[in-house]
């Protein structure tokens, strides 16, 4: 690889970071810039453990994976892949690269246990693992309760049983309390990881979440 194209790639990454940071900013539902930066770091770390992954594709897809969420702020209803592609076009990124990134952005998000978002490429698998890691562990716990507050959900309600959502629509409409969200999504993510590195990282975070839930229920009972 020539020095010029290296520089260019780094430049594209830096400009994309700025673009995403401006668009997502301090979003309150868990899709803020800091989530994106954590997913980016997770993805780079997993990519370093896994052989043969195309790091440039992974970096761009990780940075742009939640870009569709800024649509809520200006009433513009593009799909994520389209927004990502339009942005990368302004930087004159190669068309084949744009297609690969847009494809990942369009398929990465969790749609409930009933609908599998199966990633076709190693790069997609890594970005999906990186996004899922940020939903579990200490960060995942923080995000779940932050989201619960944002959506005005109860923290917990022992009279409500966790639901099994068969379709994306059911999952989207669910008004579950936050502890139920652990049973409906977060505790399943460890088993849905794609890569070996992702699995190892998920296991550690999963164990922490289980300890948290145990303690939560003990305290709920006044122990
Ligand atoms: P993704 O980026 O995987 O599409 P979501 O949009 O489903 O994530 O969720 C964003 C964050 O909000 C995640 O940390 C997720 O666990 C949390 N979250 C989503 N739905 C709920 C819910 N019903 N209760 C609590 N947290 C939730
Ligand atoms: Ni995300």
Ligand nearest to the CA of 146: 1
145 lines ligand 1 (CB under 6 A): no
How high is the pLDDT of residue 157?
96
This model's pTM is above 0.85:
yes
Quickly state the pLDDT bin for 113 (edges 50, 70, 90): low
How high is the pLDDT of residue 193?
97
Percent of the chain with pLDDT over 70: 87
Q: Tell how far the Cα of 26 is from the centroid of ligand 2, in angstroms.
A: 14
Alpha carbon nearest to ligand 1 atom 18, residue: 144
110 lines ligand 1 (CB under 6 A): yes
Quickly state the pLDDT bin for 25 (edges 50, 70, 90): confident
Give per-residue pLDDT as tens, 39-66.
Answer: 999 999 999 999 899 999 999 999 999 9
* Spatial distance between the Cα atoms of 131 and 99, rounded to a whole number of angstroms: 20
Higher pLDDT: 113 or 131? It is: 131
Average pLDDT over every residue of 187-199: 97
Ligand nearest to the CA of 127: 2
What is the position in ligand 1's atom list of the atom closest to the CA of 174? 23
> Taking CA 39 as the corner, what is the angle to CA 95 and CA 152, rounded to the nearest 5 degrees?
115
* Spatial distance between the Cα atoms of 189 and 140, rounded to a whole number of angstroms: 11
């Amino acid at each position: 690889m020539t020095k010029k194209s290296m520089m260019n790639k780094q430049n594209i990454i830096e400009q994309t970071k700025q673009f995403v940071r401006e668009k997502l900013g301090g979003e309150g539902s868990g899709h803020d810039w800091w989530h994106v930066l954590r997913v980016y770091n997770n993805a780079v770390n997993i990519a370093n453990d896994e052989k043969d992954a195309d790091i440039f594709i992974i970096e761009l897809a990780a940075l742009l994976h939640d870009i569709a969420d800024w649509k809520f702020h200006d009433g513009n209803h593009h799909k994520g892949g389209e927004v990502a592609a339009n942005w990368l076009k302004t930087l004159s990124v190669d068309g084949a690269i744009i297609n690969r990134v847009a494809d990942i952005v369009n398929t990465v998000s969790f749609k409930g246990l009933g609908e599998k978002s199966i990633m076709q490429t190693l790069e997609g698998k890594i970005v999906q693992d990186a996004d899922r890691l940020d939903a579990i562990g200490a960060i995942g716990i923080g995000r779940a309760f932050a989201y619960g507050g944002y959506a005005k959900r109860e923290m917990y309600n022992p009279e409500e049983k966790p639901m099994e959502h068969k379709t994306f629509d059911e999952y989207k409409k669910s008004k579950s309390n936050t502890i139920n969200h652990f049973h409906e999504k977060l505790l399943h993510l460890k088993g849905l990881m794609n890569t070996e590195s992702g699995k190892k990282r998920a296991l550690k975070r999963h164990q922490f979440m289980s300890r948290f839930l145990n303690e939560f229920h003990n305290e709920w009972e006044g122990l």
